[in-house]
Structure 1
Amino acid sequence: MTSTDVLVDGYDRIREAVHDATRKLSDDQLAFRVDAQANSIAWLVWHLTRVQDDHLAGAAGSEQVWFTEGWRDRFELPFDDLDIGYGHSSDQVAQVRADAELLLGYHDSVHEQTVSYLGGLTDADLDEVIDADWTPPVTRGVRLVSVLADGLQHAGQASFVRGVVERG
Structure 2
Amino acid sequence: MNTAQLLEDGFARVQDLVHSAVEGLTAEQLTYRVDPGANTIAWLVWHLTRVQDDHIAEAAGLDQIWTAQGWAKRFDLALDDKATGYGHSREDVAAVRVETPALLTGYYDAVWDQTRAYLGTLDEQALDRVVDDRWDPPVTLGVRLTSVIGDDLQHAGQAAFLRGIVERR
Q: CA deviation at 1:19?
A: 0.3
Matches within 5 A, 1:44-83: 44-83=44-83
Unaligned ranges ≥5, structure 2: none
Letter in 2 for 1:108: D
Query: Which residue of 2 is the match for residue 125 of structure 1?
Result: 126
Distance 1:101 1:148 in 2: 22
More off after superposition, 151-160 vs 126-135: 126-135
Runs of 4+ in 1 over 2 A off after TM superposition: none
Q: CA deviation at 1:132?
A: 1.2
Q: CA deviation at 1:68?
A: 1.1
Q: CA deviation at 1:69?
A: 0.6
Query: Which residue of 2 is the match for residue 91 of structure 1?
Result: 91
How many pairs are equivalent? 168
Q: CA deviation at 1:153?
A: 0.3
Distance 1:40 1:16 in 2: 19
Query: Which residue of 2 is the match for residue 151 of structure 1?
Result: 152
Secondary structure of 1:5's partner? helix
Letter in 1 for 2:80: D
Q: CA deviation at 1:130?
A: 1.2
Query: Which residue of 2 is the match for residue 165 of structure 1?
Result: 166
Query: Which residue of 2 is the match for residue 140 of structure 1?
Result: 141
RMSD: 0.6
Distance 1:42 1:50 in 2: 12
Q: Is 2:81 the counterpart of 1:106?
A: no
**TM-score using structure 2 length:** 0.98
Letter in 2 for 1:159: A
Unaligned ranges ≥5, structure 1: none
Distance 2:163 2:29 in 1: 8
Letter in 1 for 2:92: Q
Distance 1:48 1:88 in 2: 13
Secondary structure of 1:130's partner? strand
Contact 2:79 2:95 in 1 (8 A): no
Distance 1:104 1:142 in 2: 26
Letter in 2 for 1:41: I
Distance 1:63 1:78 in 2: 21
